[in-house]
Structure formats: C-alpha cells, structure tokens
Amino acid sequence: MDALLQNFSAFGNALPGAASQGLIWGVMAIGLYITYKVLELSDLTVDGSFCTGGAVCAAMMVGGYSVWVAMLAAFIAGFLAGAVTGFLHTKCKIPAILAGILT
C-alpha cells in the first residue's frame, strides 16, 4: 500500500510540469496543423522558431537579462526566423520546405 501511495504522490508531483509542457507543445502542434493541413504548405519554420526563441531566451536569462527582455528578444528572433523563411520562399523562389530547412 505504501508503494502505491508513493507512486501516486510522484505522479501528482509530476503533473503540473507535464501539463505545462503539453500546453507548450500543443501550441506548436496547432501551428504545424495550420501550415500542413489548412494552408497545404510544408513549412518547418514553426519547429525552428520555437527552438530559436527558446535558445535566445535561455541565453539572455543566463547572461543576466530580465525575463521580460529575454522573452521580447525571443519573440523578435522567432519573428526574424519566419521573415527570413518568407523572404527565401517568396522573393528567392525557394520551395517552402527547403526555405524552412535553410532557416
């Protein structure tokens, strides 16, 4: 019985972290769904911009910047990743999937 209670306690402790990660990945999944199914466009910028923004935010926070400044920089980095992909696709006539991979 004690083992069951310990497992249940561990599950309860892990639940908030799992729920927050699920919400974050859910937003990315919606972005992928919109680009793949609704727009019928193979674009990998959604995946890459999440990683780019996270890396910029983490690096700035480790560097001593406030959370809000780091989040703003992460937003700008994600925006620039999308803008570069859009430029490569529209102006340079590179297919969307390759433009996303290059970015």
**Over 60: is that where the pLDDT of 5 sits?**
no
Q: Are residues 51 and 82 in the same domain?
A: yes
pLDDT, tens only, 51-94: 889 999 999 999 999 999 999 999 999 999 989 988 998 999 98
Residues 36 and 50 in one domain: no
Domain that holds residue 62: 41-103
pLDDT given for residue 86 in this prediction: 87
| Total number of domains constituting the chain | 2
Look up the pTM and report it: 0.64
Q: Over range 94-102, report the average pLDDT.
A: 83
Distance CA 9, CA 5 (A): 6
My answer on whether 19 and 65 are in the same domain is: no
- Is the domain of 101 the same as that of 59? yes
CA pair distance 49, 29, nearest whole angstrom: 13
Residue 2 has pLDDT above 60, yes or no: no
Q: Can you give the pLDDT at residue 1?
A: 58
| 49 and 83 fall within a common domain | yes
